[in-house]
Structure 1
Amino acid sequence: MFALVWIHLLAAVVWVGGMVFLSVVLVPVLKRNGAFAQYALLFRTVAYRFRAVVWGAMGILVATGLTLAAGRSIPLMEPSRWPTIFAAKIGLVTLLFTLTLLHDLVVGPRVRRSLGVPEAERSARDRVLLRYSVLVPRISLLVALLVLLLAVVLART
């Protein structure tokens, strides 16, 4: 069980740590002096590589999380009997997975298409998308941090 907890935590740290790195370190450095356009290829390459790591971590988290929950005698097939903290954590994990899917499969590709259009030719919809698309990863990071908080609370109960 110890090894399983360690693997579960390692996958969470990789995912959340990468989110923090991208949001707090890489993007601000690349945006410095308005030079983000120069580094778009670098950012895209890093983001694609991180996406593969994230999806691997998500798979590990699901597999180890289900096993850990079963080991704690949480009736996985009876959500009405779940401890409140566990139910809240699963709800936030579901939201985080949904946001990740939304970011990777919908928002990201649309942003790439919009950025491929000269600025003067972008539609109002493109401009709105580009302005608000940054919210998805920011909300994802906040949700991920809340999941970690609930994980700590759950481990202490």
Structure 2
Amino acid sequence: MSQFVLVWIHLLAAVGWVGGTIFLSLALAPSYRALASKPDAGALFRTSAKRFRLIVWGAVAVLVLTGPMLVLSHGWPLFEPARWPFPLGLKLSLVAALLMLTLAHDLVFGPRVRTILALPTDKRTVSDQTFLTAATWLPRIALLLSLGVLFAAVVLARS
């Protein structure tokens, strides 16, 4: 596979992940909060988020396959991070943090938030409310990490 095609596929996967994160964080979530009193708003948000989760993990699979091939195509040793250019190490560190955050969201935060939101408001504990507030920061942090990955990628491409 030519490096051009490899970069294009890698970028498509990154655009799907980061672009979707931007859309969910800056468009869908605020719209949901504005319409939260309407019954269909929650269903739309949940359906969109569930569909996006498939896109994210598909994109992650593509990135995990194409990323090492791109590293090798530049002549950088795959298993010697000390010899990588700084922007590559930074990018992969941010990607690792983003992956851990995404896993935490899908396996811990998401299910707990759904459980708490299923409770009547008057049955939620202070701990539940604190968790809900903390959970709203997870997508924001993921968005910042995503933008950091893009920045590191641009710096890497320009170096």
Q: Same fold (TM over 0.5)?
A: yes
**Aligned partner of 2:50: which letter?**
Y
1:23 paired residue number: 25
More divergent stretch after superposition (92-101 vs 34-43):
34-43
Q: What is the percentage of aligned positions where both structures have the same residue?
A: 50
RMSD (CA atoms): 1.3
1:105 aligns with 2:76: no
Seen in structure 2, the aligned counterparts of structure 1 residues 71 and 88 have a Cα distance that, compared at 3 Å, is same
Report the CA distance between 1:82 and its aligned residue: 1.6
Q: Which residue of 2 aligns with 1:74?
A: 76
Q: Residue 35 of structure 1: CA displacement?
A: 2.8
User: Which residue among 59, 62, 71 is the counterpart of 2:61?
Assistant: 59
Residue correspondences, number = 157
Counterpart check, 1:83 vs 2:85 = yes
1:74-112 per-residue CA deviation (whole Å, 9 max, x = no partner) reads 111112222111111110000000010011111000000
Q: Is 2:120 aligned against 1:118?
A: yes
Q: How do residues 120-139 of structure 1 correspond to structure 2 at under 5 angstroms? A: 120-139=122-141
Specify the code of the residue in structure 1 equivalent to 2:107: L
Look up the equivalent residue of 1:112 and give its one-letter code.
R
Shift of 1:37: 5.7
After alignment, is 73-82 or 33-42 more displaced?
33-42
Q: Distance in 1 between matches of 2:39 and 2:134?
A: 18
Alpha-carbon distance, 1:116 to partner: 1.0
Tell me the equivalent position of 2:37.
35
Which range moves more in the overlay, 94-103 or 16-25? 16-25
Normalising by structure 2, what TM-score?
0.94
Counterparts of 1:139 and 1:72, CA distance in 2: 31
Q: What displacement does 1:8 show?
A: 0.4
Structure 1 segments of 4 or more deviating over 6 A?
A: none
Cα pair 1:99 1:136 within 8 Å, conserved: yes
Runs of 5+ in structure 1 lacking a partner? none
